Amino acid sequence: MKRLQVFTLVFITLLMSCKTTMPIVGAYDAYPVYTGTDLGLTWSPGKSVFKLWSPPAEEARILFYADGQGGSPLKTLPLKKGKKGVWSATVKENIEGQFYAFQVKIKGQWLAEVPDPYAKAVGVNGKRGMVVDPAKTNPSGWDNDRRPVLKNYTDIVIYELHVRDLSSDDNSGIRNKGKFLGLTETGTRSKEGEATGIDHLVDLGVTHVHLLPSYDYLSIDESKPYDPKVYNWGYDPQNYNVPEGSYATNAENGAVRIREFKQMVKALHDKGIRVILDVVYNHTGVTEASNFNQLVPGYYYRQNEKGGFSDASACGNETASERAMMRKFIVESVKYWATEYHLDGFRFDLMGIHDMETMNEVSRELRKIDPSIFVYGEGWTAGASPLPDERKAIKKNTHLMENVAAFSDDMRDGIKGHVFHPEQKGFVSGLAGLEESVKFGVVASTQHPQVNYQKINYSQAPWAKEPHQTINYASCHDNHTLWDRLAISAPEASEANRIRMHKLAGAMVLTSQGVAFLHAGVELLRTKKGEENSYKSPDDINRLDWSRKAKHKDVYTYFKGLIALRKNHPALRMTSAEMIRKHLKFLELSESNLVAYTISGNANGDSWKEILVVFNGNPGDKKFEIPGGKWTVAVNGNQINEQGLDSIGNGSMSIPPYTAMVLYQQ
């Protein structure tokens, strides 16, 4: 996009005199950059210091209230303009418990009252900031909270979960349904006697819980009681640095949601599970009326060629991470969550909208806090953006980023078929021609001499420099659950065969190199009753149906066994691309829908001398030649036993339909 050059502040003034509140794009380049780390509220018992960045403002003020919504201001305090576009005011008394909002005047007009973007506590529905004592938001034992040990990123097994989904089922046995505290309750059971909630997660063996957006978002009215029919995933951000109030037991008091979020994190940490937050810095829930836009109109967003808001998010706008103060906000926000809330990772929604420089700075700054903090995201956009592809944090540029991972849609759609064509089959349901896409997923999107890159479904070249930069998965919150997808794409198959396909998909994810990612409930054959986009569907659609754990206990046991297998055998999670190239070799097979490979030489310190992994996506048995010697079967389509289910020799084997097998030699 052609950008106007701005040479003087006089020209900026002329631009600001136009009728629109949003200046011509080039004006943003001349806005001063504030490098301090004290924007927003700095509180102490003796004083509160408020700082707001708004270069175009002619005046600015802060209004104080007794409540989070309604009522008249207790007082209004003018802000004084200082250097670098920063306005400030100091209140020399203890105003803990009061609520506040900022307001700026631009071109003679006062814009709406809003919390500043850096607000860390808010009242109900996030319309006003709240003055809280941070120390009083810490639960018992918080100072002793520690991140569970993580040696390598490839050790990670992610479980993607919406806060409400874990507990909202009447059969969950959890008292605090739909709340952060629901994730702290232990000893919960379904009526069938199966462990639910956090105990279920511990028993399953996942290392990380990825929480769908749990910051303050727009679409739920926090002033109303919990309603199982009113639901949202939360991809409509409002206040980025504040937990969502509808997940708290009291949304009126800004300190409560903070404390209960921390209680949740500590409960998971105490059980050895790390916590990842799904963050949506790529767009805001509203555009013109957003906190960003009411304080610095236009600056935080990209504009299209006509000067309007660009929309690569398909949600009405896209943020401009390449602009200094937007980048600063993103970096400082994730650092705040990592330090104040002890978070262990961040999943960036539509990461491809952000520029690589921002993502690299995010990664570097978080690793200074703790090198084990994990950063990953969606390496694509939802629409066109004025940011050039060579600057975008998209999948093909992953190898240029520093310890930032991306989702592999190559492996996902190789496993089950094209995500936007639900009737299409994939490898696990019998569609031939996806073998190279599967092999590409097996080697975690890295360079490997036995992968034919011309035959991969989407990528024609390796995009991950190292295996920890690839997230392998078969399903997530978006689109159909894996079980529903198989019902749509393979309606002719019996339920028994669809369960085989489902287990095969899980085995492919959990035995491939890279980072493994599971959609919550996949181990229960989770269904959303066929609904594809359940972002605002009721709990009845989105909940984890805990009765399915007893009904499909064999599937749960199988997934649990696969996770344990992955944890027990470092050869399945090698730490470098070079190690994968050295130790992992694909068998040359003439059959379609059949992939087999060996991992040799006690790779990555594994106790097994040689490992053989085979995937058969065909509807019938397949017999083929394997390396000689005696092999012990640890995994078949039904069971997992590392001590051995069977043995195979004579250089050949037959693998049942829709089955993964793992064999080894000591």
What is the residue-wise DSSP string for 80-137? Answer: EE-GGGEEEEEE-S--TT-EEEEEEEETTEE---B--TT---B-GGGSSEE---GGGG
Amino acid at 410: D
For residue 181, is it left (φ>0), alpha (ψ between -120 and 50) or beta?
alpha
Q: Do 440 and 414 contact (CB within 8 A), yes or no?
A: yes
On the CB side of 134, how many CA atoms lie within 13 Å of its CA? 13
Tokens 């037959």 found at: 654
Residues 6+ apart with CB under 8 A from 381: 312, 313, 318, 350, 352, 353, 392, 394
Count the residues in the chain.
666
Active site residue 349: yes
List 78's β-bridge partners, or say none: 61
For residue 126, is it left (φ>0), alpha (ψ between -120 and 50) or beta?
left
Q: How far apart are CA 251 and CA 151, in angstroms?
A: 38
Task: Give the sign of the dihedral formed by CA 562, CA 568, CA 574, CA 579.
Answer: negative
Instruction: Point out the catalytic residue in the list 216, 349, 410, 539.
Output: 349
On the CB side of 77, how many CA atoms lie within 13 Å of its CA? 19
> CA 318, 216, 54, 128: dihedral to nearest 10 degrees?
150
> Three-state SS string across 287-341, please?
CCCCHHHHHCCCCCECECCCCCECCCCCCCCCECCCCHHHHHHHHHHHHHHHHHC
Amino acid at 87: W
Q: How far apart are CA 519 and CA 166, in angstroms?
A: 12
Amino acid at 502: H
Instruction: Point out the catalytic residue in the list 165, 378, 539, 610.
Output: 378
As separate numbers, helices (DSSP H) first and strands (DSSP E) second, the chain gives 15, 27
Element (H, E) at 277: strand 274-279
Q: Do 341 and 366 contact (CB within 8 A), yes or no?
A: no
DSSP classification of residue 352: G
Tokens 């992939």 found at: 595
DSSP classification of residue 87: E
Residues 6+ apart with CB under 8 A from 124: 68, 69, 222, 223, 245, 251, 252
Active site amino acids:
349, 378
